[in-house]
Amino acid sequence: MTVVLGGGISGLSAAYYALNNPKINPITLLEASNRLGGWIRSHESSNGIIFEKGPRTIRCLGSAGKNTLNLLEDLKLADKLIPIKSDHPSAKNRMIYSRNKLHLLPNSLLNTIKTNSLFNRPLISFLAKDLRAPMIRKDDESIYSFVERRFGKDMADYLVSPMICGICAGDAQKISVKFLMKSLFEAEQKHGSIIKGLYKQFLKKKDDNKTEYISDLAKMADMQKWVVWGLKGGLEELPRSLGNNLMTRGVDIQLNSYCEKILFQSDHVELTINGKVRKCSQIISSLPAKTLAKLLEEQHPDLAKELKAIPMVTVAVVNLQFADNVLPMNAFGFLVPPGENLPILGVIFDSCIFPKDSSTVLTVMMGGAWFEKYFGRNPTDENLLNIAIKQVKEILNIKEDPITFNVAILKDCIPQHVVGHSQRLNHIRDYISSRRIPLALCGSSYQGVGINDVILSAKEAVSDIMQHLNEH
């Protein structure tokens, strides 16, 4: 029997992919809380508006994006899909708030040669700087340091730092470029320049005809130039459908099942669940690294130490609905550079992405790497709500008060892949494989924090378990 720990999107995906391998069936999925879905949570307000407490859209980019669309087609969710194409205002218009002003980022080739208000120089000038900048051999460095070297401090401060706030609520001066922007880092390290390297990678990709399976849905996304997509009824439809699919196919899903300890014996694994010991053959863990560390530290303290070293940040999410259209323009929203010293990371214009009526729905993201700096350890919902409303009103020049709202504090919700993360992952993998521990890892702590990343990591975790079994 295989036990999957965690009923978020990665745990559910791991159970889904595991079902295709009879060798590792039957499957039991254990979730400590009373619901499935993890950080994906769609909350319907009293007047029928969907507030997303977590992610609301999923990108189509790359093989990981195609893999998720393949899964969506398998789950028969295509009729609930809401595609956002490249010509949609929320795909074209993204803003940065800096120096008391909203700046629209360049969204066309023509705009790259015009002077941009955010940088006071055209975007194309950054490319010229990259072609002239010397290459420095490095094993890893922060994204901020890398961008500052290649493109300049203004790009690092006003574009990349807020972008990292949007991706992982993190500090660009700590996040690993080797991990989060691997292709850019490798382009410089191999070819001396990002531009030269990306061009050569592009030519190589055209020559590489990969024979990966692509569903009709993924082909349509490519043909129609989808940028992101969402789901009718909210993104929680995805884990909900996955859960239903698993149950109808015989997966034993147990909620309110809290794992307290794991012991690996010579021929089985013992899990202490709600005070009782249960046995299985192998484990796929989608738990956050630091949660898993506590379960392993008695038997494997060195492994637990590496897992604990992956930091997490807390994010507050405040959803607001205003009765009228109060937006200055149709856009995805705006991000705030950390150097502005404002208590918000950014604001998403939900009602522009998914219009429903004449009202405005916004999501304010707060905290992350700066949560305690601005809010202390235990802020009240009321305090966070008041700060969010104040910031939104001032920045967007809104006069009216919101008619509905929702506040959620997502504690330790996003792992931080800091400088040295790739090396740490190698240590963790080497420890598990060298000791032949029947344990595979998936989820946002390891291969990336996006939904596409964690779904793909679940698929790879199942492959790891199969490889372990084949070696024995």
0.75 exceeded by the pTM? yes
| Residues 407, 267: Cα–Cα separation, whole Å | 47
Mark the ranges of the chain whose per-residue pLDDT is less than 70: 109-110, 205-211, 472
* Residue 170 DSSP SS3: coil
pLDDT given for residue 199 in this prediction: 80
Element (H, E) at 227: strand 226-231
The residues near 74 (Cβ < 8 Å, ≥ 6 apart) are: 215
pLDDT given for residue 209 in this prediction: 45
Element (H, E) at 269: strand 269-273
For helices 216-223 and 62-74, angle between their N-to-C axes, nearest 10 degrees: 130
Our measurement of the distance from residue 35's CA atom to the centroid of its chain's CA atoms, rounded to an integer in Å, reads 20
Q: Tell me if 440 sits within 8 A of 465, measured CB to CB.
A: yes
pLDDT digits (tens, 9 = 90+) for 44-59: 988 889 999 999 999 9
| Residues 218, 432: Cα–Cα separation, whole Å | 35
Alpha carbon distance, N-terminus to C-terminus of the chain: 16
pLDDT given for residue 205 in this prediction: 64
Alpha helices in 289-332 (DSSP H): 289-296, 301-308
pLDDT digits (tens, 9 = 90+) for 1-33: 999 999 999 999 999 999 998 889 999 999 999
* Residue 217 DSSP SS3: helix
| Residues 242, 265: Cα–Cα separation, whole Å | 32
- The tokens for 427 are 């240590």
| Residues 376, 409: Cα–Cα separation, whole Å | 13
